Amino acid sequence: MSLNLYDTMAREKRPFVPVDPKRVTMYVCGPTVYNYAHIGNARPVVVFDVLFRLLRHTYGEEAVLYAANVTDVDDKINAKAQAEGVEIDVITQRYLDIYNRDMATLGALAPTFQPRATQTMDAIIEMIGRLVDKGAAYAAEGHVLFSTESYPDYGQLSGRSLDDMIAGARVDVAPYKRNAADFVLWKPSKPGEPVWDSPWGPGRPGWHIECSAMIEQTLGLPIDIHGGGNDLIFPHHENELAQGVCAAHGCEAGHGGDYARYWMHNGFLNFGSEKMSKSLGNVVLVHDLVAQTPGEAVRWALLVGHYRAPQEWSGELLEQARKSLDRLYGALRRCADVTASTDAPSSKFLAALEDDLNTAQAMAELFALASTIETGDDEARAQAKGELLASGALMGFLQADPEAWFQGGADPELKARVEALIAERIAARTAKDWPRADAIRDELNALNVVVMDSADGATWRLREPSSSED
Ligand code: AMP
Ligand code: ZN
């Protein structure tokens, strides 16, 4: 089988064929860095990380270029900087560092490029100039606007017509707009906001143009895959596409595929049947979650459902994710003495991911491999162990030492208690206080902890609930 991806533009699954298999390119719209990321923001990161890994597996690690940008010019960043009385880059660098650490905890590989709007300003201004020269944009009252009428294919990605958009536009359309649907490429900065010089006066870029300029600068057109959450289809990606095509080719119709060849959008993560959003105040922060739960379990929870479907976030979802990983790490622990006979993922696992990232089916295949490890003959176990580790790696799972997983799976309080009891038990044994040492062993047993004594001291692990070993 080969890779098929659902393309938002075509509205169907299509076989994936890159422009150049030696240089496969993907761009995903990243966060605005002014606060901690919520778990919804992590969904595109984890989903497109799976795709990144799959592409690397297929085309070779060096052949895949993945750019995930950071928006570091924004009203919310300005507001936060003003509130704290610092420069904006103090805010953006702080939250970018936290974001990168938190996403690494979720097992996301670092993208090849992480371009930032503030570091792309020359390319942004140059691109706006090209749009003005081609008659696709016009300057008015210190602003530069994209002229949606100049691009006959406008609306192609989201399936909206320009007439509908004009009819739906709010009544208070800015007077300098020729058409209600026209959008900002450049605008004057308000007092106290960061400002850059441009041929149209001092100011700052609009949001959409940043991504188009970063794509041209880091990857070049056309890119193979453009991704993001489905809230970005309109207006962000529609506008990116229009200005990207017009700047590169001119505005005539028929160039829609020359910007990005496949558009992919993840569904939203909801919380209590509402969309998780900072303005609704119902956010769960990744930073808080990974302080209490292994990042791998959070990652699993984010991949249980199909990436295009909406997903409800809940404590039970996370608990279930942890149990699933207990089951798989338990199987790996029970075949610690088996030498894997392959380092390739199973073909069924690969086929599931290649079917538009069917992660649920891929996970079912991981469980099937775990069953083979438990019930198969020696040859089958050696094969299944290798396939489970390689398949897990391809999805960003199962790379920890199984013993470490079962310790890491213990909550910090339990962990501290177990470690104190073990230290006490060592002291009791050194003092030859055998009754005390035995009592501590019973206490640990009651906590579901198995202690393994060795020449170098003692190690411990939790029994997984499904296991019947004593
Ligand atoms: P933002 O910082 O809001 O611009 O979002 C960064 C990325 O996260 C974008 O690709 C959004 O589409 C995506 N995103 C934001 N909120 C959610 C959510 N609740 N569920 C899934 N994706 C989201
Ligand atoms: Zn973008």
CA distance 380 to 115: 46
- Whole-number pLDDT of residue 368: 98
pLDDT reported for residue 58 = 98
43-52, 270-279, 398-407, 438-447: lowest mean pLDDT where? 270-279
* Residue 41 CA to ligand 1 centre (angstroms): 4
- Whether 469 has a pLDDT exceeding 50, the answer reads no
Most confident residue range from 83-87, 173-177, 280-284: 83-87
Q: What percent of the chain has pLDDT over 90?
A: 79
The whole-number average pLDDT for the span 62-77 is 95
Residues with CB under 5 A from ligand 2 (ion): 29, 211
Nearest of 240, 263, 253 to residue 131 by alpha carbon? 240
Q: Please report which ligand is nearest the Cα atom of 305.
A: 1
DSSP, collapsed to helix, strand or coil, labels residue 145 as strand
| Model confidence band, residue 468 (pLDDT cutoffs 50, 70, 90) | very low
91-140 pLDDT tens trace: 999 999 999 999 999 999 999 999 999 999 999 999 999 999 999 999 99
When pLDDT is averaged across residues 149-160 and rounded to a whole number, the result is 95
Cα separation, 129 vs 140, in Å, equals 14
Closest CA to 414 of 447, 436, 442, 391: 447
Which residue's CA lies nearest to atom 14 of ligand 1? 41
Name residues contacting ligand 1 (CB within 6 A). Answer: 29, 31-32, 40-41, 43-44, 228-229, 231-232, 266, 268-269, 275-276
Query: Residue 202: left if φ>0, alpha if ψ -120 to 50, beta else—which one?
Result: beta
Tell me, what's the pLDDT at 283? Answer: 84
Ligand (nearest to CA of 282): 1
Q: Please, which pLDDT band fits residue 470 given cuts at 50, 70 and 90?
A: very low
Q: Please name every residue paired with 227 in a beta bridge, in sequence order, or none if there are none.
A: 28, 264
CB proximity list for 136: less than 8 A, separation 6 or greater: 146, 147, 150, 151, 243, 246, 247, 251
What is the per-residue pLDDT for 460? 78
**Which pLDDT does position 464 carry in this prediction?**
58
Q: 463 or 325: which carries more pLDDT confidence?
A: 325
pLDDT of residue 72: 93
**C-alpha to C-alpha distance for 212 and 258, rounded to whole angstroms:** 13
Contact 395/53 with Cβ under 8 angstroms? yes
| pLDDT tens-digit readout, 369-428 | 999 999 999 999 999 999 999 999 999 999 999 988 988 766 667 888 888 999 899 899
Question: How far is the C-alpha of 426 from the C-alpha of 217, rounded, in Å?
Answer: 61
Which percentage of the chain shows pLDDT scores above 70?
94
What is the mean pLDDT of the segment spanning 144-162? 94
Give the ligand 1 atom nearest the CA of 232: 12
CA of 87 to the centre of ligand 2 (A): 24
What is the pLDDT confidence band of residue 465, given thresholds at 50, 70 and 90? Answer: low
**Residue 149: C-alpha distances to residues 101, 137, 156, 162 (Å):** 43, 10, 13, 8
| CA 445 to centroid of ligand 2, rounded, Å | 53
Q: Render pLDDT for 356-373 as a digit per residue (tens, 0 to 9).
A: 999 999 999 999 999 999
Nearest CA to ligand 1 atom 1: 31
Closest CA to 30 of 70, 76, 84: 70
pLDDT tens figures, 253-297: 999 999 999 999 999 999 876 776 666 677 899 999 988 889 999
